[in-house]
């Protein structure tokens, strides 16, 4: 039902509605409602988080870096510097070989004391003919001591007119200390085949002769050996002045052979007193069966 008084106007001044400038009534009717705010107590802001710097760890890391750098620098200084380098090579025990030759062959001059190879130096020095054994030792801070044992000549081995110097083990020596003035010469009555095969001194015969000389077997019997003769098929024969030759063969049953030889000499001395024929050779190779020739 429509309002009958809606268009009724009263006499006098006309009322005007408040209308903001530039805003129509339709726009005002469609304007969004104002936001409403409620006042409340504000929260206290949190203090900023404190940043923790690990100074102790940083200090340890820096100290370790400095220490490692110092070690590396020190090692490099020791390896490349002259404070620990070989400046002097002392050689002892050398009579035949020269000290300068040993130092040159060792190749140790100027090497670092920390890295020098003593084993290699010993191998190089041992190649010298007169050297039997060698030891190389460090003598800090910048020296090396070389101890040499040279070959010692014991006697001579003669084959087909060729005389070779040998040691007490029968090894042929190219260079050595000289043999004694009364050194024995073993004469090898080698066959042509033995010469072709290149057979050298017999070590067992050399040991046997050395023992007979050391024990003074012939001197105790009043005899003087004049020759030491070796044959491959017969062994050692000792030729003595004013006495029978003694065929020892090899060094086996040495004590028995010496005792048997002394007993035979006593018997021969008694037989000579009765005018019995003389014996030229005593063969001791067959144990108790001593053969007289």
Local confidence band at 182 (pLDDT 50, 70, 90 cut-offs): very high
Does residue 47 sit in helix, strand or coil?
Answer: coil
Query: Which pLDDT score is estimated for 74?
Result: 63
Query: Which pLDDT score is estimated for 61?
Result: 79
Last residue of a domain, one of 112, 127, 150: 150
Q: Which residue has the tokens 């010993």?
A: 122
Residue 87 CA to residue 81 CA, distance in Å, equals 12
Residue 223 CA to residue 225 CA, distance in Å, equals 7
What pTM does this model have? 0.70
Residue 95 CA to residue 103 CA, distance in Å, equals 14
pLDDT tens digit sequence for 50-79:
666 677 777 777 778 777 776 776 666 666
Residue 229 shares a structural domain with residue 178: yes
Residue 60 within any structural domain of the chain: no
Residue 188 tokens read as 């090898």
Residue 205 within any structural domain of the chain: yes
Residue 1 within any structural domain of the chain: no
What is 109-163 written as a DSSP string? Answer: TT-BTTT--HHHHHHHHHTSTTEEEEEEEEETTTEEEEEEEE-B--EEEEETTEE
> What domain range includes position 115?
88-150
Residue 240 CA to residue 264 CA, distance in Å, equals 14
pLDDT tens digit sequence for 132-159:
999 999 999 899 999 999 999 999 999 9
Q: Which residues pair with 231 in a beta bridge?
A: 235
Q: Which residue has the tokens 């802001």?
A: 45
| Counted domains in the chain | 2
Residue 78 within any structural domain of the chain: no
Residue 47 within any structural domain of the chain: no
Residue 45 within any structural domain of the chain: no
Residue 197 shares a structural domain with residue 103: no
Continuous H helices in the chain: 25-30, 55-80, 99-106, 118-126, 192-197, 203-214, 217-220, 254-273
Lowest average pLDDT, out of 69-78, 126-135, 256-265, goes to 69-78
């Amino acid at each position: 039902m429509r309002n009958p008084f809606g268009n009724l106007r009263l006499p006098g001044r006309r009322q005007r509605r408040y209308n903001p400038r530039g805003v129509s009534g339709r726009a005002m009717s469609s304007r969004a409602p104002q936001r409403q705010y409620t006042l409340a107590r504000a929260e206290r802001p949190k203090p900023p988080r404190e940043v923790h710097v690990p100074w102790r760890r940083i200090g340890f890391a820096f100290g370790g870096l400095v220490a490692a750098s110092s070690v590396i620098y020190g090692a490099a200084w020791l390896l490349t510097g002259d404070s620990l380098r070989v400046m002097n090579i002392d050689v002892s025990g050398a009579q035949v070989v020269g000290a300068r030759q040993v130092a040159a062959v060792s190749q140790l001059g100027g090497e670092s004391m920390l890295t020098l190879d003593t084993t290699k130096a010993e191998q190089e020095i041992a190649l010298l003919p007169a050297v039997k054994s060698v030891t190389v030792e460090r003598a800090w801070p910048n020296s090396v001591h070389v101890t040499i044992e040279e070959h010692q000549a014991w006697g001579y081995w003669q084959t087909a007119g060729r005389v070779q110097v040998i040691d007490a083990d029968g090894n042929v020596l190219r260079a050595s200390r000289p043999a004694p003035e009364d050194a024995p010469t073993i004469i090898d009555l080698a066959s042509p085949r033995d010469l072709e095969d290149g057979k050298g001194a017999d070590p067992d015969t050399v040991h046997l002769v050395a023992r007979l000389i050391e024990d003074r077997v012939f001197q105790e019997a009043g005899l003087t050996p004049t020759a030491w003769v070796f044959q491959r098929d017969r062994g050692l024969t000792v030729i003595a002045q004013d006495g029978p030759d003694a065929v020892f063969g090899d060094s086996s049953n040495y004590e028995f052979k010496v005792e048997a030889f002394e007993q035979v000499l006593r018997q021969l001395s008694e037989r000579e007193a009765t005018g019995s024929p003389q014996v030229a050779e005593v063969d001791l190779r067959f144990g108790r069966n001593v053969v007289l020739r």
